[in-house]
Amino acid sequence: MNILVLNCGSSSLKFQIIETDLEIIEKNADVQKAKGLVERIGGQSLVSFQATGRPAMKAAVALRDHRAALDYVIRWIISSESQVPGIHSLADIHAVGHRVVHGAEKFTKSVVIDETVIRGIEDCIELAPLHNPANLKGISAAKDVMGPGVPQVAVFDTGFHSTMPETSYLYAIPYQLYRRHKIRRYGFHGTSHRYVAYRYRQLTGKDVESTNIITLHLGNGCSACAIKGGSSLNTSMGLTPLEGLVMGTRGGDLDPSVIEFLSHKEAMSLNEIDALLNKQSGLLGLSGLTNDMRDLLAEESEHQDRRAKLAVDIFCLRVKKYIGAYLAEMGGADAIVFTGGIGENSAEVRRRICAGLEWLGIDIDVAANDKLYGGKEGEMGKANSRVKLFVIPTNEELLIARDTVRSVRNAPRRW
């Protein structure tokens, strides 16, 4: 089946076309046929499309909404100009898989989308006011453009973490607030943590039950996950993606009293504080320069910028803290896996995170570490490191495509 994988943001649409099916999954022979991105939907949009192995097509076009953007994408995919193999008409796209950010307690697994599912995703909007509405726009656009006959599947960022026990997901606030409003940790980046755990098993030959690892998704958003017996035991993001690690523009863990204090001292509204914590904090807030790790590392080494160094140091220290916490909670782990733009590419950040953890059995091989960047997958622990260290580039789209096939074919989800 040719699966269109869609990841819709408030003004963006990312897509991939992946050919897969149940027997293809067994053989691990899925084929990525095309990918692309539409940015700045609602104005003069920038598009960048690429059939695998061909030069990218870039253009600026006025696309007023997600429907217009998807219509443009589909017309390109089926055109002869795109050269996407085996796709010449709408009928050659067999299903659509959507990344949906928040599924709350309603959705613990990927599901075929119908009216009830749409209402359920709408009910989760209050928990993800920035993300779920954009995901719903993508679903509605796909129904309009592809027609109601093409099955659509929702794959939730929160789904993988639905196995967390109460001891991980409850906040220590009055219990009735959980009962009444479902205030709890949900966790995000679930598809990424799940994918790298799956790849780890492929690389090591471990089975699901003996997968005891810490996965670190370090990108513009960052989260850590303690995976025990193949399932998410705990994760650093919470009710929303704001909790946990230091991120590009999110501050992560914080004394909640800061909010009240800020509202007095700076006369800020709750909305303004929310925006400050989500959009002006983290690496950007600490450095006063940028949320981009690459630029911070360059500022630090080329100009000895004190605040750039401070931001990177605090970023690495927070990750270290979570590694320690999860090792304690899990009773030790067999491996730590790095992924995401920073985790996959920055040997320097990985080195700083692992530095001084030898006593925990985490012993990085600096030369091996330096070789892992730009999409390379591999190990970077010393031969005698008790905890193995891996870089595994994430591939959420592949899991979304596979879950789409399994859901459409009514096959059980395999890990």
Residues with catalytic function: 157
**Cβ of residue 182: shortest distance to ligand AMP, in angstroms?**
28
Q: Which is nearer to ligand AMP, 2 or 291 (CB)?
A: 291
Q: Are 189 and 217 in contact (CB under 8 A)?
A: yes
In the chain the first and final C-alpha atoms are separated, in Å, by: 20
Q: What DSSP line would sit under 140-189, residue for residue?
A: HHHHHHH-TTS-EEEEETTGGGGG--HHHH--SS-HHHHHHH--S---S-
Chain CA centroid to CA 51, Å: 23
Dihedral sign from CA coordinates of 204, 407, 115, 142 = positive
Backbone φ and ψ of 164, nearest 5°? -60, 140
**Cβ of residue 184: shortest distance to ligand AMP, in angstroms?**
25
Q: Which is nearer to ligand AMP, 2 or 346 (CB)?
A: 346
Residues in contact with ligand AMP by CB under 6 A are 219-220, 248, 292-294, 297, 340-342, 345-346, 373
**Cβ of residue 393: shortest distance to ligand AMP, in angstroms?**
10
Q: What DSSP line would sit under 35-91, residue for residue?
A: EEEEESTTSEEEEEEEETTS--EEEEEE--SHHHHHHHHHHHHHSTTT--TT--SGG
**Cβ of residue 193: shortest distance to ligand AMP, in angstroms?**
13
- Give CA–CA dist 282/249, Å, rounded: 4
Q: Which is nearer to ligand AMP, 160 or 169 (CB)?
A: 160
Q: Are 96 and 178 in contact (CB under 8 A)?
A: no
Closest residue to ligand AMP, judged by C-beta, is 341
- Give CA–CA dist 43/60, Å, rounded: 10
Sorted by sequence, the CB contacts under 8 Å of residue 274 that are 6+ apart come out as none
Sorted by sequence, the CB contacts under 8 Å of residue 270 that are 6+ apart come out as 259, 263
Q: Are 212 and 227 in contact (CB under 8 A)?
A: yes
Q: Which is nearer to ligand AMP, 96 or 342 (CB)?
A: 342
Q: Which is nearer to ligand AMP, 145 or 392 (CB)?
A: 392
Q: Which is nearer to ligand AMP, 289 or 360 (CB)?
A: 289
267 half-sphere exposure, CB direction, 13 A CA radius: 0
Q: Which is nearer to ligand AMP, 105 or 370 (CB)?
A: 370
**Cβ of residue 87: shortest distance to ligand AMP, in angstroms?**
27
**Cβ of residue 41: shortest distance to ligand AMP, in angstroms?**
19
**Cβ of residue 295: shortest distance to ligand AMP, in angstroms?**
7
